[in-house]
Structure 1
Amino acid sequence: MLSPGLSDEQAVPFDDRGLAYGDGLFETVLLRDGGPVLWRYHTSRLAKGCRRLNIPLPSQAALDATWQGDPTAELEVLKLILTRGSGGRGYAQPDQVTPRLVSRRTPFQPSAERWQQGVTVRLCDLRLGHQPRLAGIKHLNRLENVLARQEWSDATIAEGVLADTHGLVVEATSMNVFWQQAGQVLTPLLDQCGVAGTLRAALIEQGAVAQSSLPLQQLGAVERLWVANSVQGVWPVTSLLAANGSLIQRWPLSKLDSFQRLAHQLLGVA
């Protein structure tokens, strides 16, 4: 049974396990003209997360109800939060799990100038730990990303690139990483840590992207570099900085970015 949905004005109960322990999942979905973009990939990732955490998955009707609203709204972002609900003693889950689904829609405007002009990204000092049972899913405990995002305040830096404890590139703080090598577009394997984005999943399914490993020290030698997610789209990286702010590499901005064009078609960008 699913706990009744809460509006964003209602408080989450003090004993909610998502609030207390990060015991839950979330999805951030682009709504275009009132409908969800890449919805199949979002619900598939949510279902995978529910299986991993052993949380009952809400019905498709309950999930669909979160985005049904104003069809005249051109662009919005829908955030879904699914927790295990309330109860249990300490870390032990309650005998009867009643998940709690919370959702909120907000107006959205993408950073189109970053599509066109490219962005500067920096390397993060923080290293992501390995936990294969949580790898790929979008669980509520994102403290590593929060700490990494605290490493800079310069508004000219769009993102931070994260590596794992073995020195392999994993992701950006809130986006996936893609690079071109020998003419092929690649993205990190996310079998030990990191979030498997829905745009990433769609591009892999299309055969446009392959998965590979990339040592952090080789990042500056790639032919091209992008960061991307299903809300912001694809940002070409034009400058890569070290954590101390020194320049590692620059890439020229391509006017014929076929990777960006394909990704944006999947997001409904004209």
Structure 2
Amino acid sequence: MILINGQPETMLSVADRGLQYGDGLFETIPFRHGRLEYLKEHTERLLRGCKRLQIDFNDIAALERELLIVCNQISGDGVIKIIITRGSGGRGYKPPIDSTPQRIITFHPLPDYPLNRQSGITVQLCSTRLAKNPLLAGIKHLNRLEQVIARNEWDSADIAEGLMLNYDDELIEGTMSNVFLVSDGCLFTPNLNSCGIEGVMRERILALACTLDIPHEIVTLTLDDLYQADEVFVTNSLIRVWPVTALHGTNKQWPHGDITKRIQKALDTAES
């Protein structure tokens, strides 16, 4: 199902700036057991992104009404994607003064991800690097070509995710996930001030670490930190937590460790 500005529609103007320039944002929200998970966190990040890009959108009430329409017409679990674009405008980068933001909502089946919540996944280190851009760091804008190119680096079904560095050799994130390391009982996740997405599940896990009395820090991480970590896992709203147990092309392996298991159990309990 597709709604554009609240109407069943599949056509979007070719003049829309989301198509022309990637001028917009998106959120991907799990729909499980008849409800949208983490809706508040997703809408808050969406509004932060609109403010950062100076897109004049704040009509969350209309968006929530339209989400309810979609949710009432689907059965089974899936994924709801929200796209907000700046709207249509003429040629040229300068945003038109009178553009009207476009609201696009689509529903999709759950991805056919591997069920490796216990046995763990193998990841690949991507050669594609992330450029630093503090203005765009953290938000989920429509310009995702770095991730598209990185994800095209492997075809093997044995590799579930790719890890990405920036041009300063700092570990930042996965192609579709945030990354966490555990070393000496402390939980670490990369600083995303210059690039990367501040994931909703990342924020949820940092909050859970406080509740569980797990020491945690947001820091600059390198490949050495990855290799020396006691545990590694990746997260997003759809997968929640995947333990990482192997790095493709190397003999490096990690266990599905105790802190990862504690966080998984706490998430499961909170969502049950």
Answer whether TM exceeds 0.5 for this pair.
yes
Q: Is 1:261 paired with 2:265?
A: yes
Task: Report the CA distance between 1:263 and its aligned residue.
Answer: 3.3
Residue 249 to residue 66, structure 1, CA distance change in 2 (3 Å): farther
User: What is the distance in 1 between the residues matched to 2:105 and 2:91?
Assistant: 26
Rounded to whole Å, the distance in 1 between the matches of 2:7 and 2:145 is 24
Number of the residue aligned with 2:154:
152
Distance change >3 Å, CA 219–CA 6, structure 1 → 2: farther
Q: Which residue of 2 aligns with 1:228?
A: 235
Q: What runs of 5+ residues in structure 1 fail to find an aligned partner?
A: none
Q: In the TM superposition, what is the alpha-carbon distance from 1:183 to its structure 2 partner?
A: 0.5
Among 176, 191, 194, the residue aligned to 2:193: 191
Structure 1: distance between partners of 2:96 and 2:187: 45
Aligned to 1:29: 29
Preserved contact between residue 231 and residue 257 of structure 2 (Cα < 8 Å): no
1:51-95 CA-to-partner distances (Å, cap 9, x unmatched) read 110002241212212331238844221000000000144101112
Say whether the 8 Å CA contact 1:236–1:253 is kept in structure 2. Answer: yes
In the TM superposition, residue 178 of structure 1 has moved relative to its aligned partner by 0.7
Whether the 8 Å contact between 1:75 and 1:109 is mirrored in structure 2 is no
TM-score normalized with structure 1 length: 0.90
Q: Which amino acid aligns with 1:44?
A: E
Q: Relative to 1, partners in 2 of residues 1:78 and 1:136: Cα closer, same or farther, differing over 3 Å? A: same
Q: In structure 1, the residue corresponding to 2:94 is in which secondary structure?
A: coil
- Tell whether the 8 Å contact from 1:162 to 1:169 is kept in structure 2 after alignment: yes
Distance 2:48 2:67 in 1: 20
Aligned 8 A contact 2:6 2:66 in 1: no
- Contact 2:234–2:244 under 8 Å retained in 1: yes
Task: Name the aligned partner's letter for residue 202 of structure 1.
Answer: R
Question: What residue in structure 2 maps to residue 13 of structure 1?
Answer: 13
Distance 2:223 2:267 in 1: 25
Percent identity of the aligned residues?
A: 39
Match of 1:86 among 61, 84, 88: 88
**Which one of 139, 142, 166 corresponds to residue 141 of structure 2?**
139
Q: TM-score, with normalisation over the residues of structure 2?
A: 0.89
Matches within 5 A, 1:51-90: 51-68=51-68, 69-70=71-72, 73-90=75-92
Cα deviation code 1:99-132 (max 9, x no counterpart): 0010012232674621121100010111110000
Supply the AA of the counterpart residue of 1:75: D
Partner residue, 1:172: 174
Q: Is the 8 A contact 1:177 1:226 kept in 2?
A: yes
Aligned match of 1:44: 44
Check whether the contact 1:178–1:225 (CA below 8 A) recurs between aligned residues.
yes
Contact 2:178–2:235 (CA under 8 A) maintained in structure 1: yes
What letter corresponds to residue 120 of structure 1 in structure 2? Answer: T
Question: Number of residues paired by the alignment?
Answer: 261
C-alpha contact (below 8 Å) 1:6/1:101 kept by paired residues: no
